[in-house]
Structure 1
Amino acid sequence: MTSLTRFKRRAFIAAIGCVSMGLAVSCGPSNPDVSAPTATSPTAGGGGGGGTVSLSGAGASFPAPLYQRWFADYNKQNPNTQISYQSVGSGAGVEQFLAGTVDFGATDAPLKAEEREKFKAKFGAEPIQVPMTGGSVVFAYNLDGVDGLKLSRDAYCGIVTGEITRWNDPAIAAENSGVNLPDSNIQFVHRSDGSGTTFAFTNHLQAACPNWTAGANKAVEWPVGTGAKGNEGVTAQIQQTPGAIGYTEFSYAKENGLQMAAIENKAGNIVEPTPEAGALAFKGETVPADFALLVPDPENPDAYPISTLTWLLLYPEYQDAAKKEALNSVVGWSLTDGKSAANDLGYIPLETELADKVKTEVAKIQ
């Protein structure tokens, strides 16, 4: 009997953290009234009585606002499909996916080779990894009286390495002529949890900043700064801290009214973090067979330089046919009907050709 066959036959009962009628995001760690798959059987079990199908997922906070909107809107049109999503960070999302405690995972960092091998050893098959949207990682800041901050590479690289510590440093002042920059300390805010946003951010720093030595990963040893959990936590920390600057996903900064710095790209142009400029990072790039497209420092002279895709992690087989059909339907709906929501929130919808490839890949699920 193969691992995958054993995986399909096991039953499930386990508690999962957050749920609402259509979706729950960023809630607590446990809720005894909600059931989810066990670590050895993410596909076992029924969809619930009365034709109701319940799906549980966990992972990246980067796309959480969009997933919240998508899943709630989908539920309004399909009330028998209930989707819970825990915004716990990409690191925890990958862990729960590999353990089989969710129906789908979510990550802003493609699966590593060792993670794929762990999945194959446990389930006897390759995981399915598909992008759902793109977005930009921005430098959000809290600096009274300073609008339209511009940061050269020397400036933002110096901030994250701790070499630049004052707001009126010459490297910052050089790009902000006429701006009254305060003679005060810079308070850098970074993620404290395993984060795909951190991976995208540090992947860019590794490519763009000569003095960056901490590497590119979901968690790194930061040379400077204060940590906060999730894009939610980083955003809140910046809001509460005068003189703060940190990295977060565009939609979090937008929805919370935070200022966002324009930054220098590879071509030497200072570019504002708009969805249009973020989309140019992917223009002309070839998407690999496993969909793990990374563009750490785009060549396009008009591109915003820190943009990433974000991926759903799915199992190759689901014993419950209703769950398989629901996942297929949700993904297809999100990539078509859900495009307007992505635009509204400042994400980057997948181009039609890539969206069609994703739907074809998801349709292969057994």
Structure 2
Amino acid sequence: MKSAGRLAATVAIAGVLSLVACGTDDNITSGASAAAAQGPTPGGLSGTINAAGSSAQANAMAEWKKAFQSSNPGVSVNYQPSGSGAGIQAFIQGTVAFAGSDSALNDEKGEPAQADARCATGKAINLPMVTGPVAVVYNLPGVDGLQLSPKTLAGVFNSEITKWDDPAVKADNPDAQLPSTAIQAFHRSDESGTSDNFTKFLKATSDWPYEAAKAWPAEARGQGAKGSDGIAAAVRGTEGAIGYVELSFAENSQLQKAKVANGSGEFVELTPESAGKTVEAAEIVGSGNDLKLKIDYATDAPGAYPIVLVTYEITCEKGLPAADADLVRSFLTYTASDAGQQALSGLGYAPLPDGLVGKVRAAVDAIS
């Protein structure tokens, strides 16, 4: 039987729908409650949710925070976009109730065991929440619709291709007038799930010689900038620059986005729909309520944009203090709701596929 605190939290999550979106589908995915699909209603929740991590989802968090706090004025959502690596460490150390990360907890680094130890009476779970397509952005006046293959991207970001009129870039863009401008390749200077996913893509689709990791390989050189906003600002302010950021940051900064070749060789424009085709085919490799995904970066699905990341909210299935558990469950119930997911579309993200979001709602409901 649910505790009084959990009942109060459940009442508090029945409908920000009118604040964020209208006309949502009344059909609820199997395994999710009507409240989970609709979002929160004004309730008696109070307290502070401390969280940190992925800067890729910073814009989503800002929107979610505004809507959730509007319906729950007694709650303060404090999210620090410190980067995925820092967020995971803060969660493991117990200073935040959940972490946002563009990569699931890393087995090779022992992160699942460390996170489980923090949870004490339960285990840590990876909850996919935001589909954040990774844009390859560039600043090259006079060149629109740039096309780049994975092999060319690997050469650019490994400092092997240094001019925009290099034969490899010309081969991808036979009809473009490419200048001899020097390429200025920008990467994340902080540990980043975006870097992890971008290098996973390069490793899976090209001759990228380094292991995929949150930390950019020093051997690849290039120029570093902190955070997604730092990369966007650096590319915007540097002629000849190229970098990688989430779609939301590319659009907010009005940067040009390159078309990227998928596994079939098709150059695909980045849109929420083209990125969604890659996420939809992802395999769940976690167990139980741990919904860790395996993405096929070499997908050959027609019209699929291959560089995508899924930001996870990482928290304890069981083991948070009761007050924190109620607040985290309530907030994540909203973010996974129809209203919460629909709010992403106008921010440069893509909603979770229908089949996956139902599993996320069920996992969130199990938090205690």
Flag whether TM exceeds 0.5 (same fold): yes
The match for 2:360 is: 358
Residue pair 2:46, 2:72 contacting (<8 A) in 1 also = no
After superposition, residues 268-283 of structure 1 pair within 5 angstroms as 268-283=265-280
Match of 1:214 among 203, 210, 227: 210
The match for 1:183 is: 180
- C-alpha distance 178-119 of structure 1, shift in aligned 2 (>3 A): closer
Counterpart-to-counterpart distance in 1, 2:282 and 2:51: 29
After superposition, residues 260-275 of structure 1 pair within 5 angstroms as 260-275=257-272
Q: Deviations over 1:158-192 (max 9, x none)?
A: 11122211001121122323422111110000001
State the one-letter code of the partner of 2:367: I
Match of 1:127 among 124, 129, 132: 124
- C-alpha distance 294-195 of structure 1, shift in aligned 2 (>3 A): same
- Runs of 4+ displaced beyond 6 Å: none
The match for 1:117 is: 113
Residue pair 2:344, 2:351 contacting (<8 A) in 1 also = yes
State the one-letter code of the partner of 2:58: A
- C-alpha distance 347-51 of structure 1, shift in aligned 2 (>3 A): closer
State the one-letter code of the partner of 1:280: K
The match for 1:291 is: 291
After superposition, residues 107-186 of structure 1 pair within 5 angstroms as 107-113=101-107, 114-124=110-120, 125-186=122-183
Counterpart-to-counterpart distance in 2, 1:324 and 1:365: 6
After superposition, residues 71-110 of structure 1 pair within 5 angstroms as 71-110=65-104
Alpha-carbon shift at residue 51 of structure 1 (Å) = 5.8
The match for 1:325 is: 326
Counterpart-to-counterpart distance in 1, 2:339 and 2:47: 20
Aligned residues: 315
Residue pair 2:60, 2:344 contacting (<8 A) in 1 also = yes
Q: Deviations over 1:266-288 (max 9, x none)?
A: 11100011111100102333323
Asked which structure has the greater RCO (Cα within 8 Å, sep 6+), the reply is 2
Secondary structure of 2:352's match?
Answer: coil
Asked whether 1:62 is paired with 2:56, we answer yes
- C-alpha distance 171-328 of structure 1, shift in aligned 2 (>3 A): same
Q: Deviations over 1:126-156 (max 9, x none)?
A: 1122010212111101111111111123321
Secondary structure of 1:174's match?
Answer: helix
Counterpart-to-counterpart distance in 1, 2:209 and 2:135: 21
Secondary structure of 1:355's match?
Answer: helix
Counterpart-to-counterpart distance in 2, 1:208 and 1:352: 28
Residue pair 1:138, 1:260 contacting (<8 A) in 2 also = yes
Residue pair 1:153, 1:209 contacting (<8 A) in 2 also = yes
Between the aligned residues of both structures, percent identity stands at: 37
Could you state the TM-score of these two structures normalised by the residue count of structure 2? 0.82
Residue pair 1:152, 1:171 contacting (<8 A) in 2 also = no
Residue pair 2:150, 2:202 contacting (<8 A) in 1 also = no
Counterpart-to-counterpart distance in 2, 1:365 and 1:279: 27
Q: Deviations over 1:58-111 (max 9, x none)?
A: 000111111111111111122112101100100000000000001111101110
Secondary structure of 1:111's match?
Answer: coil
Counterpart-to-counterpart distance in 1, 2:200 and 2:151: 17
State the one-letter code of the partner of 1:177: P
After superposition, residues 293-308 of structure 1 pair within 5 angstroms as 293-295=293-295, 296-308=297-309
